[in-house]
Amino acid sequence: MTLIRRATQLAFIAAVTALGVFLALEATEVDGDTWRANLADTTRNLFAPDRAAWQIALIGAALAIGGIILIAAQLAPARKGTSRMLEVGSNEDGATHLTGRATLRSVEHELRQIEGVTGSAAVMPTAKKIHATIRVDDRCDLADIETQAHERLDTGFWINLGVPDIAIAITVEFDPRPPRVR
């Protein structure tokens, strides 16, 4: 399913990019063939009937640049550990796996439940280690937050999640934009 979704996304992005390049080339009349001119006129009338050729060229260039940026974003590697599969259980019928993304989201959610935490982020550089960063309000005690984080992510958390214990390195930092108190 992921392959089909990714292929569909790339096809759509390529179509938008091609449309942007096409609009830019036709509006600036790079090639003088009559069929291209007719197609350009039709496209111009559909997308921007009251615009001048230079405005359509700018719109086309913006669409082309946006499409290239979207393609580059799709080809960029995922965050560390999100595609890793962790075995939850297995028997003669097969194995059950949990994605790294679900594991990281569970860790982040659990850390956000601590009072004073304004945000959290986690990455999984290896299958046996997670690096978690916790952002806290500047009125909190960092040592207390770190202690609570280790208590929440103890062996019981991993048992409930269904995966073996994973070592966690926790970094606690003050949030540069703490929530406003009225």
Q: What is the pLDDT of residues 15-53, one digit of tens each?
A: 888 888 777 776 776 665 665 677 777 777 776 667 777
pTM: 0.53
Ranges 3-7, 29-33, 157-161: which has the least confidence = 29-33
> CA separation (Å) from 63 to 46, 58, 68, 152, 174?
16, 9, 9, 47, 39
pLDDT for 82 beyond 70: no
pLDDT (0 to 100) of residue 1: 45
Phi, psi angles (nearest 5°) of residue 109? -65, -45
Q: Which residue has the higher pLDDT, 83 or 123?
A: 123
For residue 133, what are the CA distances in angstroms to 96, 100, 102? 28, 17, 17
The reported pLDDT for the residue numbered 111 is 92
Q: Are strands 85-91 and 117-126 parallel, antiparallel or unpaired?
A: unpaired
**81 vs 84: CA distance, rounded Å:** 5
Query: For tokens 């989201």, what's the residue?
Result: 105
Domains in the chain (CATH in brackets) are 2-75 (no CATH), 85-174 (3.30.300.30)
**pLDDT of 140 above 50:** yes
DSSP state of 12: H
